[in-house]
Amino acid sequence: MNWIILIIAGLFEVGFTTCLKLSNNFSSIKWSAAFFVCITLSFLLLNKASQTLPMGTAYAVWTGIGAVGTVIIGILYFNEPATFWRIFFICTLIGSIAGLKFFASH
């Protein structure tokens, strides 16, 4: 169950980074409020998940989900470049996250 909580925490990390961009330097009240809701939920869920998962693994997976998700949002919605090397390294990051999850119980 805590892996699911950690994944949700990572998705809220994607939410707060996206809201940060859309807040236009916190000048948009709606996106600024969404940022604070997402960041609060993300950290609360990360804290909950790290109570039973190894702290280093939980943090790395949370950060990885946030990084991968934020890059994907940037490519799809903010017209950021989708170069070969960028996609290659995102794929290696996904592989690393999967490896951390696989070896967390060993």
- The CA distances from residue 52 to 2, 43, 46, 49, 65, in Å, are 7, 15, 11, 6, 19
- Residue written as tokens 């690393």? 96
User: In this predicted model, what pLDDT tens digit does every residue of 37-64 receive, in sequence order?
Assistant: 999 999 999 999 999 998 988 999 999 9
Q: For the chain, how far is it from start to end, CA to CA, in angstroms?
A: 18
- The answer to whether the beta carbons of residues 53 and 104 sit under 8 Å apart is yes
User: In this predicted model, what pLDDT tens digit does every residue of 74-93 receive, in sequence order?
Assistant: 999 999 999 999 999 999 99
Domain assignments of the chain as residue spans, ordered by start: 1-104
Amino acid code (one letter) for 97:
I
The DSSP H or E segment spanning 90 is helix 84-103
Six-digit token pair at 25? 């330097």
Please state, in angstroms and rounded to a whole number, the distance separating the CA atoms of residues 89 and 106.
26
Kindly report the pTM of this predicted structure.
0.88
